Amino acid sequence: MINLTVKNYNLVFKRPAGTSRGVLKTKPSYFLMLHDSQNENKISIGECGILPGLSYDDKPGYEKKLEELKSVINSTQKVDIDLDLDKWPSIRFGLEILIKDYYSKSDKVLFPTAFTQGQYKIPINGLIWMGERQFMFNQIKTKIDEGWSCIKMKIGAIDFKEELELLKFIRAQFKPSELELRVDANGAFAPRNALEKLKYLSDYSIHSIEQPIKAKQIDQMAELCEISPIPIALDEELIGIFDYSEKMEMIRKIKPQYIILKPSLIGGWKASEEWIQIAKENNVKYWATSALESNIGLNAIAQWTATLEKDLVHGLGTGQLYTNNFQSPLLASKGFLSYQKDKNWSIPL
């Protein structure tokens, strides 16, 4: 007999995390926990993580939908259920994780690969959070001193000239061949001056900029992608599009250089793989990124990412942000995420 329970768990940031949409101190998550009476030593877990103000399913009815999911699984005694979760992308992803974990032969090994054997490390970027200039400077210096080869800096919250000074500081020490620089505006630029700012940023050999203007400004974003001196990566633009033909139409109209896949925000692995298929058909590159999940969700995204193309630098370094995260085999260090198979999980839920 199987029994699903749902637990609400607030992840607490070690330091408030600044974005152009505001400052986060905590991040809500819901964990699907499945007990099986035939295997009492194993608890299968899926994470449903929402980002307030950004997730499509950050709306009334979320907990009711989780209760519906719990009711269907417990009454049917089936994990592989047919429940319409298209408009609940984080719940769909949580269920995907739960199902994979339930059928896994090893604890939390969802995709057995060289990564989970400790034989392959996933290249990742070091994340620089928004904040006061000195705080951002200290983060940058720490990442450089630690030997990261790709840094992603969130911009759009402090004075733009100060942000340019920080980029200038980085480039004064490292050439593009030595250090890859990515920036993430989270839609902070206004369409009227976005191109001007992109031109200033291009002086520092930026690899790409994520979402320079807010999502759903299709014509303006298409124009920027055509003339921008910096390659543009769509992030928030992918949220809330579930129909295949709509995805294809958006990519063909905007013609971005990159798309960024966040399974919690776009509907899980299946939806992400659909985006990858569309991207490849339109000569668009991609990479995968976590969306502030706990180590449960990060583990699921990382193991899936390890099955993708190997020449990509992904954004999977957010597992170290919380005071109350779970002990796991994951280790982010010096530009790589590795899986230490001799380390055990500790999930006191």
**Active-site positions?**
154, 262
* Separation between Cα atoms, residue 234 and residue 284, nearest integer Å: 10
* Token reading at 231: 């390659």
* Token reading at 227: 């003339």
In this structure, are residues 181 and 172 in contact, taking their beta carbons and an 8 Å threshold?
no
Q: Are strands 2-19 and 22-36 parallel, antiparallel or unpaired?
A: antiparallel
Amino acid at 309: E
For residue 258, report the phi and psi dihedrals to the nearest 5 degrees.
Answer: -140, 160
* Separation between Cα atoms, residue 270 and residue 103, nearest integer Å: 17
Taking CA 55 as the corner, what is the angle to CA 182 and CA 91, rounded to the nearest 5 degrees? 120
In this structure, are residues 183 and 153 in contact, taking their beta carbons and an 8 Å threshold?
yes
* Signed CA dihedral, 226, 229, 233, 237: sign only: negative
